[in-house]
């Protein structure tokens, strides 16, 4: 992976109005997030994950790097200066959850529609 400082192309990030105008049906949501990377992009585009991360110590942007051991996400922010790392979920709605982003998105969808838990898992 080439070094990059964003989870998704900043031009793809939706504004609040665009986000509020979206109306997903479950089948399309499932198709929109076929992989971990797709789910990360989906979240970044909808401002559910910060698209950039700054190292406070070095005052410079961290890069996205692959880290297979990193729980569900497979990537992490790493500072090119001090090499400190932080989760891409830091400070987000997804912070501290051990579920995958896909699982949380699909469960949240079901919750927003008042579905029973059994309907979300089947």
**Of 80, 75, 86, 76, residue with least CA distance to 60:** 80
Say if CB 70 and CB 77 are below 8 A apart. no
Say how many residues touch Zn ion, by CB under 5 A: 6
Among the residue ranges 1-9, 19-27, 39-47, 53-61, the one whose residues contact Zn ion (CB under 5 A): 53-61
Q: DSSP code of 4?
A: B
Among the residue ranges 41-49, 52-60, 66-74, 107-115, the one whose residues contact Zn ion (CB under 5 A): 52-60
Figure out which of the listed residues 4, 10, 31, 82 binds Zn ion, where binding follows CB under 5 A.
Answer: 82
User: Interface with Zn ion includes 81 (CB under 5 A)?
Assistant: yes
Say if CB 88 and CB 75 are below 8 A apart. yes
User: Interface with Zn ion includes 58 (CB under 5 A)?
Assistant: yes
User: Interface with Zn ion includes 55 (CB under 5 A)?
Assistant: yes
* Of 77 and 94, CB closest to Zn ion: 77
Within the chain, how many helices (H) and strands (E) appear? Answer: 5, 5
**Of 109, 100, 101, 107, residue with least CA distance to 23:** 109
As a whole number of Å, the end-to-end CA separation of the chain is 34
* Of 17 and 56, CB closest to Zn ion: 56
User: How near is the Cβ of 61 to Zn ion at its closest, in Å?
Assistant: 10
Rule CB under 5 A: which residues touch Zn ion? 55, 57-58, 79, 81-82
């Amino acid at each position: 992976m080439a070094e990059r400082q964003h989870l998704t192309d900043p031009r793809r990030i939706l504004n609040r109005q665009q986000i509020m105008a979206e109306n997903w049906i479950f089948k399309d949501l499932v198709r929109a997030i076929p992989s971990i990377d797709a789910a990360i992009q989906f979240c970044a585009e909808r401002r559910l994950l910060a698209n950039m991360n700054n190292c406070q110590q070095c005052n410079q942007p961290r890069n996205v790097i692959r880290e297979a051991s990193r729980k569900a996400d497979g990537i992490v922010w790493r500072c090119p200066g001090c090499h400190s790392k932080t989760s891409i979920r830091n400070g987000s709605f997804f912070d501290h959850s051990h579920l995958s982003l896909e699982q949380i998105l699909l469960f949240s969808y079901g919750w927003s529609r008042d579905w029973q838990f059994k309907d979300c898992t089947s």
